[in-house]
Amino acid sequence: MERMTDRIYHDLREHGIETPCYGEKFLCDALEIMEADPASLTFISKGIYPPIAKRYNTSISSVERNLRFLIEKLWEREAENGYFKMMTGKSLTIRPRNGEFLSIMYAYYVGNMLETKQKE
């Protein structure tokens, strides 16, 4: 079975994020945290950012900024690549904020991984 992080990296490359960035790592870590504790999405600045910051020996604001940078890059390429449309099934009119982005990613990737496990 394909790992969730491998799928995320593949999808990001396919949708215009050519070079790795910290936002990708932080996104994967955030999804792992949310998979273990879905309630952590309720308070991302307390439940998600601190453990990631600690793991990478950086600040909470750096985690938030790198995720925001990733979202901005994906949003800039949305018209040509359709990453958010792929995730949500509809066109978004405004760029999602960090919490919205994490919620979309959680629903898409964790939901798909659970479906895959159930089919096996």
The predicted model gives 81-102 an average pLDDT of 90
- Backbone angles phi and psi of 17, in degrees to 5: -90, 95
Read off the tokens for 100.
Answer: 């919205």
Which CATH fold would you assign to the domain 4-119? Answer: Arc Repressor Mutant, subunit A (1.10.10)
* Contact assessment for residue 107 and residue 41, using Cβ atoms and an 8 Å cutoff: no
Q: How far apart are CA 120 and CA 105, in angstroms?
A: 22
Q: Let me know the angle formed at the C-alpha of 26 by 14 and 100, rounded to the nearest 5 degrees.
A: 80
Domain assignments of the chain as residue spans, ordered by start: 4-119
The amino acid sitting at 95 is R
pLDDT score at 1: 38
Q: How far apart are CA 23 and CA 42, in angstroms?
A: 20
Task: Give the model confidence (pLDDT) of 43-67 as tens digits.
Answer: 999 999 999 999 999 999 999 999 9
On the question of pLDDT at 116 being above 60, the answer is no
The overall average pLDDT reported for the chain is 86
